[in-house]
Structure 1
Amino acid sequence: ARPTSILSDKLGRSYSSKTDITDPFDSHFLNSITLENIKSSIRPWIIKRVDKCIFRELTFQEQAAVFNRLLMVHCFELFLYSKYLSAKRSMFDCEVVLPALCSLIDRSLINGAKSFVIGLSQLSQLSALSKLVKESEVEIFRELLQSRNDLLFDDLREDGSCLILDEDMVSDFIEPSDKTQPYSLSLLGPPAPASAVYPLMMGRAKALQSLDKGEGSDSVWSVFCYPLADICSQDSFTNIVNILEEPGFSAGGTIHVIINCEHDGLDEESKYSIESSSKLIKLLADKIKAPVIHVKAEEVHSVMYVMNLVSDFRANHKRDIVVNLMGGSQSRPHKNVALAGFIKEFLIGGKDPLVTVYSKELISNKVISKWELDDRKETYLKKLVKDHANPKVVSVKKKSPVLEKRVKEPLTGINTETMCQMVTLLDTFQVMKNTASGSKGSCAKETSDSDATVPFSLKPALESGVFGNRLDWESCASLAYATLLHEGYNVQVCRSALGPASSIDDPRILVPDSLNCPGHFKLQETPVSPFAMAGLQIGYSTTGDNILAVWEVPEEMEPSILHDITSKYFSLGKLEEQLEINVVFIVPCYFKVPGTEKSRLYVSSQPSQVLEVCEDCDILTGFNDQLYNCNVVVSSVSTPANLFHLLRRHARSPIPKPLIVFVPNASDGTSRIDELTGDTCFHPYIGDASIFESNVKNVILSTGRIHRQLSEERSHRSLEHKIALGRLEQICPFPYNNLIQDMERFPQARIWWAQEEEADDGCWNYVESRLLGLFGEERIVRFPGHYLPSSFHSPLSVSERVASIYDVILDS
């Protein structure tokens, strides 16, 4: 026999259990609500809530607010059906989701929330509606929130008689927080998959909390509302668990609303019953150590109570909580059935919409009348039709392309005196580190053809004007962070806890005491999956103009993961329109092959796959116009100084765009200090300044560190005055202007493209069409490499590949 709870005797209600257990709070039913995972630490709070009999009927005003929102969502669907007659399935899978989220926000505002970051699967439906009425998804959602105040003045009844609400009653119903407390709302969802939306949501919520130093997690709430099918696929389950297991990524409690409805699109064998699917949700709750509340989606009052309950729980305990919104989905109309007009809503799939069932209940209870129902419905539909026929005119200042002979890069150099002070602190730090570890030398080395190393000097030769000191890759990156912190930018660097550690964990130590350092630096070292890490950094980068979010991609990652990340995060045009992504991915040119540590086998990062998602402007424009017309900036820098300027240019850019920069795996190559100071900047293209003859017959273009090997091989063959070398430091947007100007020096030269990878792995496929578009009819553009499938590669074989490139050019 199932046990009876003591609380059920107090309330005069009967509880039922899924299993024969002694503790009614581990698993019990209360009407249409089921509680599970109620741990001892939160059990007294639950008991207190139940003892206060909060399981109560909604007031007439609350029922009117729920009805208004359900009716508005229903009108959304009818309007969409009228425009998309071939719809195969219901536009909104679960009608109660949006009204439930509105109730959650209402309650959370009372609990002190000021900002909401919501991962919403129904954002795609709102986006479809947004295109028709010319309003943003957030504006539509805000209208849905405000519809709670569209009270039914004429037919609200308490005792069967007509009741007219006065202003005082309306004022009591509208919470003070609605009238005086502003709040912000961020919606994330399709076309991004659920596996990408959750990290984005958590990253954005954490960043907003860090900016709100006074209240933090009390004011910024994260809500994740997605169907169970999406959570169980596409690595969403793994991402959620891995992120929440890391204390540094906790957002003070996330409310998970899981839409657990049957989907007609699934085969009969793959359909989950409500019971079996609830077990999967229970498993998720166990993994994230959160209580779970099961509630029937058709029980409107129960759903609204649960939204109030989870809001209070999150406000009091700052922990995650899971809501299992159970219910069968609406029957879908046949794909060839056209719904004419707005009068056939009762024929959709042969099943009444939820608002119809709920309105019948309200009419029978004399809360509303049939006349009020029809009037309110007609009002909402007329507004949608009016907005569609007369869209809002949004004045957008279109930029006219400014044709320039050469793109003018913004200056990003640093004051010489400031840089020398930072360099002195950098070398002092490295000397102390080496002394402590028992090692000799310095991280910054001067390299020559004989690979000799020169210790880094502590006293730059200011009086000479030419610095003999040289900086390596890590030093230039650390100096870029330090200078940005000095200028007031907030820098967050994320790296895998399993990867190699950087030499400097906090660049603030490079800022002299005499200089102000208003910026904040945060280093995250975590073992979460790369996909989740990328999403967290992207979400963090969308919260302000003075933020630089950097993800140091580990060498141990597989290239396919990088391609999956770029395709799912950066090929989403709508996402870039909603959010200003200002993230930086620092990617090694080669990834280590697992299990080959002794043989040092590497595989190419295959930038060709990354460049497939890139779009740029194919006209000759200025710097800002180029950024405005691209979705991702992709670079492959060959010098540490260019990396320094690229990071600073990206942080200070007025047009935020994602940046993917490929850097050499080895720490070879250095830059002079004077390349970082004064009127210096990032160079998207670097021509061959050592050649002035116009009769050069061959020009080799390349990107990345292969330029160094090309230059050494050219010197070895004494071809300095016969073959010119050019470097594309920025691949997307393509530096058309700079390249055209440099090629004007060599009108008779053939153009060759050199890369370390095979043809299909490197940048050749992306660069070829652009080079042919510029020089195809006048020049010969060739690739002297191999058209072979990708294979394992060792950086030690680069010299052999470069030699073969020269052999092909000289034999042609």
Structure 2
Amino acid sequence: NPSHLEAVNTVVLGKVRAKQAQRKDTNREQVMGILLHGDAAFAGQGLVAETFDLSHLKGYRTGGTIHFVVNNQIGFTTKPTDSRSSPYCSDIAKVVQAPILHVNGDDPEAVVHAARIATEFRQEFKQDVVIDMFCYRRFGHNESDEPAFTQPKMYDVIGKHPTTKDIYAQQLVKEGLLSEERIKELDKSFQDYLDEEFKASENYRPNKADWLEGKWSGLASSHGEDADWIGKTGVENDLLQEVGRALSTPPSDFDINRKILRQLKAKAKMFETGEGIDWATAEALAFGTLMCEGTPVRLSGQDCQRGTFSQRHAKLIDQTTEAKYTPLNNIRTGQAELEVLNSPLSEAGVLGFEYGITLAEPHSLVLWEAQFGDFANGAQVIIDQFISSGEAKWLRMSGLVMLLPHGYEGQGPEHSSARLERYLQLCGENNMQVANCTTPANYYHILRRQIRRSFRKPLILMTPKSLLRHKQCVSNLSDFATGTTFLPVISETAKLVDDKKVKRVVLSSGKVYYDLLAERENRGIEDVALVRVEQLYPWPEKELATELAKYPNADVVWCQEESENMGSWFFVDRRIEATLASIKHKAGRPVYVGRAASASPATGLLKAHLREQAELVDAALSVK
């Protein structure tokens, strides 16, 4: 449990859920989660409420968790009267009517009895249960703390109070079960055991092979340049067409919404012509092909069944009966299953749950989607404590995908930025991937490679909003077929002047590319090349060097929509400079083009947004 005390709760629940699925434990009797809590954290941290909220939900239930609260005023120097409004630290459990057993920590047999009751209750009723062990801390918050500084009266009483061990020992002697000599022997034996284990720990070195066993056997560590960062992700055209038919063909007796029916007919035409594959269809192809290959897919998030932008429609709703139909679960017999869950209005708890699943199950594609990318702010503790650092801290890989809608469309500060800069700042030691794709095909490939490589890494994806229906943000079906793969950098696609006559290369990532492309076409510019950096980390130095070397006489611009103190600029600046130096390019350093540094991620006024957007596009394309 990291120091952010309750952050681990739903991670544990996700692991439990995954292990139950592996055992086909639908009765939820073979795997159980036990959470250890401190009293101050149990009463004070919102993740506890999120954990209880998940306990009865169909997509997240685990058949009950035993919560063991060590109620010993562990919250440093703050008294209970200053840290909670309710009489008991365990009162939050009443929100789901979980039974709460209060027990005296100085009575070990009563504690064991309470634990037995809790275990039997959980197994019988498949619900959460809480044990509130009322006790005290003898030496303060840690080994060097002096609790008498702040609670002198209480620690005067505690100092005179016999230890739990001594109280229980005297009880056993009084009952004639143990002698004083035997108690001393047991005490010395246990102290000797602790000393031996402490000595052994000095020479302990983790064995990397230990964490690649069981479900993880066959997978490998991913450190080093030789790791397969691209993967083989294209599939046969016949499989693409098979998924396309299932995707666009609802049951004949299903009363489907007319607007969705039009969408399905449009999808059918995409597969008939092999053109115009949009973002949501590409995603469905990634899911469907993986499922046909035996890989289950789980996607959760707020309103993700329909999709925040009404783009996904993973579950269709009968307009008469409200029966549900999942097209991708009806591709072929024997396929793996798609699970799409509308989550509670929670970020930290649900993201922790999905991360926990990936720790136990490396052979499923697991995704969490923020309603808007900004909302991942509420889950920052999960990102910092687990996703970005879990492999380095605990030798535990995760293939979790985070989908974060991102892009400046004049929707205001809370609906524009997924805070790309925060993820990039966390990048190091090849710990995760951060990408901002511009084509449906690249989105498809980057999802499939999560499973089709020999290792697992978290993937942070800036996903679009306006590009979901942008006429130019489409791919051909051939871009998904055998022989195609993910492109970390996308070259200039238009026919311009000779490469040596190109005066400027504009590097960008994500949606702003289409704004640049439209204005370049509008102005008839032929000597400015647009190169897209699709993957920001790991930094695609070789691919970018190849592109920049094509234009030896051009200056180099980095263009972004985000403010200068946000987005990618502070991350890519020196990396582009190093890439230019490696090919001895005359440009030397890239030039920044984008919004000025600001405190707020974006303006709330559409007119101001449009003006800012036009200015940055103009600056990027105007060669002096």
Map residues 533-682 of structure 1 onto 2, 5 A cutoff.
533-555=350-372, 558=375, 560-561=377-378, 563=380, 565-573=382-390, 577-590=394-407, 602-615=415-428, 629-666=429-466, 667=468, 668=470, 669-682=473-486
CA distance 1:321–1:770, shift in 2 (3 Å): same
Is the partner of 1:206 in helix, strand or coil?
helix
How far the C-alpha of 1:379 sits from its partner, in A, is 3.2
Please say if 1:231 is aligned against 2:42: yes
How far the C-alpha of 1:591 sits from its partner, in A, is 8.9
Please say if 1:749 is aligned against 2:554: yes
Please say if 1:702 is aligned against 2:515: no
CA distance in 2, matches of 1:201, 1:268: 29
Judge which range, 351-360 or 684-693, deviates more: 351-360
CA distance 1:408–1:611, shift in 2 (3 Å): closer
CA distance in 2, matches of 1:736, 1:699: 16
CA distance 1:795–1:420, shift in 2 (3 Å): farther
Give the alignment partner of residue 200 of structure 2, picking from 387, 402, 405: 387
Quick check: 1:601–1:794 contact (8 Å CA) kept in 2?
A: no
CA distance in 2, matches of 1:288, 1:216: 20
Quick check: 1:253–1:318 contact (8 Å CA) kept in 2?
A: yes
Q: Which residue of 1 aligns with 2:155?
A: none
Q: Which residue of 2 aligns with 1:222?
A: 33
Give the letter aligned to residue 355 of structure 1: K
Q: Which residue of 1 aligns with 2:127?
A: 319
Is the partner of 1:203 in helix, strand or coil?
helix
CA distance in 2, matches of 1:528, 1:600: 20
Q: Which residue of 2 aligns with 1:294?
A: 102
Q: Which residue of 2 aligns with 1:9?
A: none
Is the partner of 1:709 in helix, strand or coil?
helix
How far the C-alpha of 1:401 sits from its partner, in A, is 4.1
Q: Which residue of 2 aligns with 1:423?
A: 244
Map residues 23-38 of structure 1 onto 2, 5 A cutoff.
none
Quick check: 2:390–2:396 contact (8 Å CA) kept in 1?
A: no
How far the C-alpha of 1:658 sits from its partner, in A, is 1.3
Is the partner of 1:773 in helix, strand or coil?
helix
Is the partner of 1:641 in helix, strand or coil?
helix
Give the letter aligned to residue 32 of structure 2: W
Please say if 1:806 is aligned against 2:615: no
CA distance in 2, matches of 1:357, 1:781: 72
Please say if 1:328 is aligned against 2:133: no
Is the partner of 1:316 in helix, strand or coil?
helix
CA distance 1:423–1:793, shift in 2 (3 Å): farther
How far the C-alpha of 1:327 sits from its partner, in A, is 1.0
- For structure 2, the 5+ residue unaligned runs are 147-157, 210-219, 317-324
Quick check: 2:73–2:136 contact (8 Å CA) kept in 1?
A: yes
Quick check: 1:713–1:802 contact (8 Å CA) kept in 2?
A: no
Q: Which residue of 1 aligns with 2:519?
A: 713
Quick check: 1:600–1:794 contact (8 Å CA) kept in 2?
A: no
Give the alignment partner of residue 269 of structure 2, picking from 457, 473, 476: 457
CA deviations 1:255-311 (Å, max 9, x no partner) are: 1111111247324585579xx865341x22321211111111111121122122211
How far the C-alpha of 1:438 sits from its partner, in A, is 5.7
- For structure 1, the 5+ residue unaligned runs are 1-188, 338-347, 446-454, 462-466, 616-628
Q: Which residue of 2 aligns with 1:31?
A: none
Give the letter aligned to residue 371 of structure 2: P
CA distance in 1, matches of 2:77, 2:66: 27
CA distance 1:251–1:717, shift in 2 (3 Å): same
How well do the aligned residues superpose, as a CA RMSD in angstroms?
Answer: 3.6
How far the C-alpha of 1:701 sits from its partner, in A, is 0.6
Q: Mark the structure with the bigger radius of gyration.
A: 1
CA distance in 1, matches of 2:611, 2:483: 35
How far the C-alpha of 1:664 sits from its partner, in A, is 1.2
CA distance in 2, matches of 1:562, 1:261: 28
How far the C-alpha of 1:793 sits from its partner, in A, is 5.5
Query: TM-score of the superposition, structure 1-length normalised?
Result: 0.64
Give the letter aligned to residue 726 of structure 1: V
Is the partner of 2:560 in helix, strand or coil?
coil
CA distance 1:436–1:320, shift in 2 (3 Å): closer
CA distance 1:372–1:313, shift in 2 (3 Å): same
CA deviations 1:592-648 (Å, max 9, x no partner) are: 99xx8xx99843222112322222xxxxxxxxxxxxx32221111101111111110
Quick check: 2:105–2:134 contact (8 Å CA) kept in 1?
A: yes
CA distance 1:367–1:321, shift in 2 (3 Å): same
CA distance 1:478–1:269, shift in 2 (3 Å): closer
CA distance 1:351–1:802, shift in 2 (3 Å): farther
Judge which range, 260-269 or 314-323, deviates more: 260-269
How far the C-alpha of 1:248 sits from its partner, in A, is 3.6
Q: Which residue of 1 aligns with 2:492?
A: 688
CA distance in 2, matches of 1:475, 1:211: 30
CA distance in 2, matches of 1:554, 1:265: 37
CA distance 1:436–1:811, shift in 2 (3 Å): closer
Quick check: 2:347–2:375 contact (8 Å CA) kept in 1?
A: no
CA distance in 2, matches of 1:237, 1:219: 24
Q: Which residue of 1 aligns with 2:185?
A: 372
Percentage of pairs with the same residue: 21
CA distance 1:794–1:761, shift in 2 (3 Å): farther
Give the letter aligned to residue 679 of structure 1: G
CA distance 1:803–1:656, shift in 2 (3 Å): same
How far the C-alpha of 1:769 sits from its partner, in A, is 2.8
How far the C-alpha of 1:549 sits from its partner, in A, is 1.1
Give the letter aligned to residue 510 of structure 2: G
CA distance in 2, matches of 1:220, 1:305: 21
Q: Which residue of 1 aligns with 2:569?
A: 764
Is the partner of 1:249 in helix, strand or coil?
coil
How far the C-alpha of 1:726 sits from its partner, in A, is 1.0
CA distance 1:572–1:354, shift in 2 (3 Å): farther
In the comparison of the two structures, how many residue pairs are matched? 574
Give the alignment partner of residue 603 of structure 2, picking from 792, 804, 812: 792
Quick check: 1:496–1:526 contact (8 Å CA) kept in 2?
A: yes
CA distance in 2, matches of 1:440, 1:269: 58
Give the alignment partner of residue 732 of structure 1, picking from 532, 537, 540: 537
CA distance in 1, matches of 2:593, 2:281: 35
Q: Which residue of 1 aligns with 2:93?
A: 285
CA distance 1:280–1:352, shift in 2 (3 Å): closer
Give the alignment partner of residue 591 of structure 2, picking from 775, 782, 787: 782
CA deviations 1:31-85 (Å, max 9, x no partner) are: xxxxxxxxxxxxxxxxxxxxxxxxxxxxxxxxxxxxxxxxxxxxxxxxxxxxxxx
CA distance 1:349–1:600, shift in 2 (3 Å): closer
CA distance 1:525–1:807, shift in 2 (3 Å): closer
CA distance in 2, matches of 1:573, 1:319: 29
Give the alignment partner of residue 280 of structure 2, picking from 455, 474, 481: 474
Give the letter aligned to residue 219 of structure 1: Q
Give the letter aligned to residue 503 of structure 2: K
Quick check: 1:555–1:590 contact (8 Å CA) kept in 2?
A: no
CA distance in 1, matches of 2:187, 2:202: 22
Quick check: 2:2–2:385 contact (8 Å CA) kept in 1?
A: no
Quick check: 2:362–2:398 contact (8 Å CA) kept in 1?
A: no
CA deviations 1:681-720 (Å, max 9, x no partner) are: 1111112254551342311110012112212222222222
How far the C-alpha of 1:589 sits from its partner, in A, is 0.6
CA distance in 1, matches of 2:183, 2:50: 48
Q: Which residue of 2 aligns with 1:91?
A: none
Please say if 1:208 is aligned against 2:16: no
Is the partner of 1:585 in helix, strand or coil?
strand
How far the C-alpha of 1:231 sits from its partner, in A, is 1.8
CA distance 1:269–1:482, shift in 2 (3 Å): closer
CA distance in 2, matches of 1:245, 1:214: 17
